[in-house]
Amino acid sequence: MSLSTTRVDVLILGAGGAGMMCAIHAGRRGRSVLLVDHAKKIGGKILISGGGRCNFTNMGASPQQYVSNNPHFCKSALARYPSRTFIEMVQSHGIAFHEKKLGQLFCDTSAQEIVEMLKTECNQAGARFWLETRIERIERLGSDSEALEAGELPRFRVETSQGLIECHSLVVATGGLSIPKIGATGFGYQVAEQFGLKLVPRAAALDGFTFSDSGTQSLTALAGLSVDCTMTCNGVTFRENLLFTHSGMSGPAPLQASLHWRPGDSITVDLLPGQNAFEWFLEKKRSGNRSQVKNLLSELLPARLADRLCELHFPSQQPLPQVSEKGLEAFCHLIHHWKLQPTGTVGYSKAEVTRGGVDTDELSSKTLESKKVPGLHFIGEVVDVTGWLGGYNFQWAWASGWSAGQVV
C-alpha cells in the first residue's frame, strides 16, 4: 500500500513547548502547519514540569540566566518575546498562577492547563497534530531556486510511519535527552549532523551531583536532610536549598550548580550563608559557655549535619573554653567554604535539561534558521541555550518558538 503525500508550508518535528509555540504563530500568519510527534500525548514535559504545576516562566528572565557557548545568542529572541507576553497569554486563558519565589511563576492548579492552552491556540491557528508518528527519513529537495524561495516548491520531504510529508519550512523542536522514558531522544542532533551542522557536546544538567564511594559514605548519613546554603561552581553562586540524598546532593542549589559544573570541578558550599560562625562561637566562648562545639553547632544547623561535620572535621570533645581559637577558626572557615569534589552529575534519568546541542554559530539568532540550509530551523532545548532552574527553559522554548514562528 502506498501512502499519500501531505503538503504543508511548515512541518514541525516535536509537539513540545517550543514546537507548539512556533505552530501557533506560523498558523496565525496563515501558514499551513503540521506538528509530528512520536509520543501519544503532546507537551509531555510540560505535564511533568514544576512538580505537575509547570513553572512556565520567570518574571526576571534575561540573557544572564542562560548558558551557551555564545551568551549573546539568546538575546534577540528573549527581547522580542519577553516573559510578560507569555504571561498575557496565560491570563487571557483565565489560568490562575502565583509566584513561588525569585520570579518563578507556577499554575495554581495543574500544568495540564498550559498544555490545554497551547492546544487550543494551535487549533485556533489551524495547526494539525500527527501523534504516535515515527520520523524515518528527511530529504532536502532540489537546490535553491527562486521557486523554492518563493515557497512554490517544497524544500524538504519527510518520510514518516503515517506517510510522506513535503514542506517548505522544516522546524526541529525535538528537545534534549533528559527523561528518555517520556520520549526524549537525540533525534534533533542527528538531523543537525545529517545537514552538516556543528554540535556543542551535550551533558545532563539541572540534575544534582553524585560522589565517589568514599565521598558518598561521608554524606549518606545525611540523606533526607535539607539546608539553606549558598553553592558556588565555576564562579556562579546560588542561594537555595541543598538536599542530601543517598548518592549525593539534590535540591535547587545542586541542580543550579550542576549546570555550571564540568568534570573535575569542585563546588563550594556555605552552610551558614549570611552568618559569621567564628564570631558566633567566640561570643559563646567569651561568655563562658562550656558546651562541646558539636552541641553548639546544632543550634545553627540540623543536629545530624552538625554531628557529621564534627566527626569529619572537628572530632574534639573538649568543652568550648579548651578549644583553641585557631582550630575553631579553621573549622568555621570550612563551614562557610566546604569544598567538595563531585564525581559526576546524576544523569539524564533525572536531569531537567540537556546542556549543549546545536551550535548557535550555525543559526540566525533572529529566526533560528540554519545559515547553511535555508528553511531548516532549530528551536527550544535542542539548541545550545540552557537556562537556570526557575522557568527559564520554558521561556527559551516560547521565545525561540515564537521567533521561528514569525518567519517560517
Residues in contact with ligand FAD by the rule CB under 6 A: 13-19, 37-39, 44-45, 48-50, 54-55, 135, 173-175, 178-179, 183-185, 187, 352-353, 380-381, 391-394, 397
DSSP, collapsed to helix, strand or coil, labels residue 3 as: coil
Q: Whole-angstrom Cα distance, residue 42 to residue 34? A: 13
Q: What is the DSSP letter of 143?
A: -
CB 325 → ligand FAD: shortest distance, Å? Answer: 47
Residue among 48 and 87 whose Cβ is closer to ligand FAD: 48
Q: Which is nearer to ligand FAD, 86 or 331 (CB)?
A: 86
Exposed / middle / buried, residue 390 (Cβ in 10 Å: 0-12, 13-18, 19+) = buried
Bridge partners of 67, per DSSP, are 386
Q: Is 329 helix (H, G, I), strand (E, B) or coil?
A: helix
**Is the Cβ of residue 52 or residue 71 nearer to ligand FAD in the bound state?**
52
Element (H, E) at 67: strand 66-67
Q: Are 268 and 257 in contact (CB under 8 A)?
A: no
CB of 346 to ligand FAD, least distance (A): 12
Query: 179 vs 222, which CB is nearer to ligand FAD?
Result: 179
CB of 126 to ligand FAD, least distance (A): 20
> Closer to ligand FAD at the Cβ: 184 or 277?
184
Minimum CB distance to ligand FAD, residue 141 (Å): 21
Q: Which is nearer to ligand FAD, 27 or 50 (CB)?
A: 50
Strands (E), 190-328: 199-205, 209-210, 226-233, 236-244, 248-250, 267-270
Whose Cβ is closer to ligand FAD: residue 15's or residue 167's? Answer: 15
- What's the closest the beta carbon of residue 51 comes to ligand FAD, in angstroms? 8
CB nearer ligand FAD, residue 285 or residue 355? 355
DSSP E strand boundaries for 194-350: 199-205, 209-210, 226-233, 236-244, 248-250, 267-270, 338-340, 344-345
**Which is nearer to ligand FAD, 375 or 380 (by Cβ)?**
380
Taking the C-alpha atoms of residue 184 and residue 39, their distance in angstroms, rounded to an integer, is: 9
C-alpha cell at 18: 517550543
Give the angle subtended at the CA of 375 by the CAs of 369 and 379, to the nearest 5°. 40
Closer Cβ to ligand FAD, 37 or 240, answer by number = 37
CB 45 within 8 A of CB 51: no
Phi, psi of 323 (to 5 degrees): -85, 130
Cell of 395: 521561556
Joined together, the cell numbers standing for residue 200 give 556543542
Q: Give the distance from CA 23 to its chain's centroid.
A: 22
Cα dist. 31→24, 164, 402 in Å? 10, 19, 14
Which residues make beta-bridge pairs with 357? Answer: 200
